[in-house]
């Protein structure tokens, strides 16, 4: 048992190190081969580092490393040792990466290609680092701390910092380049979500009806869905009734609605996106002739 645990832990650590390194290097490539040579900045600490490097020419990697140090120490007490260690590694990898790719040829000078491919690559790199428990931007750490202390959401603090950074970029690199930078940031932000969550097409469905048992049975038999009945009380009528909860793929959604409406045309259906689902699958038992169900609760 101890050997198996060590083996799992070793490969888990190795996997994290690999993806943290890969993410940092992809982000470095995006910065030095697309964005920085064309005077288009990123947000956060990297953006501040690009502006400072424009004036002082000490090397972008040095600024990224030095400016992140105070925030890493701040995270040590607020977020945890494991996160700090992974962040330190990712920041060092990013700093070394931008120094290495600094001598690489610029890929393109076409604005549309710069912001699209630069934003996509930057988003992939940052997304891989975040997904594996690290960070390369100290302003995110500061935003978490400020959010807990002074209110406002983490996203609102990040937005406030980036407004200041992109405004400064407008004075340094010109308004047009600052606008390109904002578009690049939005593309990268969306790609980060995709990397972290994936192209998930699952939907969480809640069905309120006076015929929940019939609907639930039909969903289990026809779509092989795992169905949960949740007890509730109507606020107006005071009558108790069941609500159906289940998770379906996008392809199954229309069939679910058809089944529900065939049984109860007055059924109330609520559909929401699902970021991730884990486990909950019951395997088919051929001997007992049970159908496979998905996502039972």
DSSP string, 251-288: HHHHHHHHHHHHH-TT-EEEEEE-S-----PBPPBTTT
Tell me the C-alpha to C-alpha distance, in Å, between residue 44 and each of 49, 134, 140, 155, 175: 9, 15, 8, 12, 18
pLDDT at 292 over 90: no
Tell me the C-alpha to C-alpha distance, in Å, between residue 121 and each of 16, 37, 45, 108: 19, 16, 18, 14
List, edge to edge, every strand of the sheet that includes 268-273.
228-233, 240-249, 202-208, 268-273
> Tell me, what's the pLDDT at 282?
43
For 111-133, the pLDDT digits (tens) are 999 999 999 999 999 999 988 88
> Tell me, what's the pLDDT at 39?
94
Q: How confident is the model at residue 279 (pLDDT cuts 50, 70, 90)?
A: low
Q: Is 42 helix (H, G, I), strand (E, B) or coil?
A: coil
pLDDT at 285 over 60: no
Say how many C-beta atoms besides its own lie within 10 A of residue 18's C-beta: 12
Say how many C-beta atoms besides its own lie within 10 A of residue 4's C-beta: 8
> Tell me, what's the pLDDT at 109?
92
Tell me the C-alpha to C-alpha distance, in Å, between residue 227 and each of 208, 221, 231: 13, 11, 13
Residue with tokens 């088919």: 284
- State the Cα–Cα distance between residues 41 and 59, nearest whole angstrom: 15
Q: Which fold has domain 202-273?
A: Alpha-Beta Plaits (3.30.70)
> Tell me, what's the pLDDT at 2?
53
CA atoms within 13 A on the CB side of 29: 13
Which of 36-45, 171-180, 268-277 is predicted with the least confidence, judged by mean pLDDT? Answer: 268-277
> Tell me, what's the pLDDT at 168?
95
Highest mean pLDDT among 74-88, 150-164, 204-218: 204-218
Domain(s) of CATH 3.30.70.120: residues in the chain: 202-273
Residues near 245 by beta carbon (within 8 Å), at least 6 away in sequence: 204, 205, 206, 227, 228, 229, 230, 297
Q: How confident is the model at residue 3 (pLDDT cuts 50, 70, 90)?
A: low
Q: In angstroms, how far apart are the furthest CA atoms of the chain?
A: 74
- State the Cα–Cα distance between residues 233 and 246, nearest whole angstrom: 19
Residue with tokens 């105070």: 70
Q: Is 232 helix (H, G, I), strand (E, B) or coil?
A: strand
pLDDT at 291 over 50: no
Cα dihedral across residues 240, 245, 250, 255: positive or negative: negative
For 180-219, the pLDDT digits (tens) are 999 999 999 899 888 877 766 688 999 999 899 999 999 9
Percent of the chain whose pLDDT exceeds 70: 88
Residue 140 or residue 80, greater confidence: 140
C-alpha 268: how far from chain center: 31
Enumerate the β-bridge partners of residue 228: 245
> Tell me, what's the pLDDT at 283?
39
> Tell me, what's the pLDDT at 148?
76
> Tell me, what's the pLDDT at 178?
94
Structure tokens at 73: 């120490």
Mean pLDDT of the region 38-54: 94
């Amino acid at each position: 048992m101890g050997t198996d645990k060590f083996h799992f832990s070793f490969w888990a650590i190795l996997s994290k190190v690999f993806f943290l390194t890969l993410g940092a290097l992809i982000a470095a490539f995006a910065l030095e081969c697309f964005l920085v040579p064309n005077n288009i900045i990123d947000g956060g600490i990297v953006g501040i580092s690009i502006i400072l490097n424009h004036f002082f020419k000490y090397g972008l990697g040095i600024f990224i490393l030095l400016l992140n140090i105070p925030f890493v120490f701040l995270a040590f007490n607020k977020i945890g040792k494991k996160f700090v260690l992974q962040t330190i590694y990712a920041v060092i990898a990013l700093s070394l990466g931008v120094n290495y790719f600094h001598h690489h040829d610029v890929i393109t000078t076409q604005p549309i290609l710069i912001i699209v491919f630069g934003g996509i690559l930057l988003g992939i790199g940052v997304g891989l680092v975040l997904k594996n428990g690290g960070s390369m931007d100290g302003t995110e750490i500061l935003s978490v701390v400020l959010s807990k202390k002074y209110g406002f959401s983490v996203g609102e603090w990040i937005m406030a910092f980036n407004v200041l950074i992109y405004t400064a970029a407008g004075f340094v690199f010109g308004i047009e380049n600052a606008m390109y930078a904002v578009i690049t940031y939005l593309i990268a932000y969306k790609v980060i979500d995709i990397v972290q969550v994936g192209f998930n097409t699952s939907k969480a469905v809640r069905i309120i009806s006076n015929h929940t048992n019939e609907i639930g049975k039909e969903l289990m038999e026809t779509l092989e869905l795992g169905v949960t009945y949740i007890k509730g009380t109507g606020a107006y009528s005071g009558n108790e009734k069941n609500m159906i909860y289940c998770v379906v793929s996008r392809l199954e959604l229309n069939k679910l609605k058809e089944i529900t409406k065939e049984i109860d045309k007055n059924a109330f259906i609520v559909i929401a996106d699902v970021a991730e689902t884990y486990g909950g699958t019951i395997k088919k038992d051929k001997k007992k002739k049970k159908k496979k169900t998905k996502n039972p609760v």
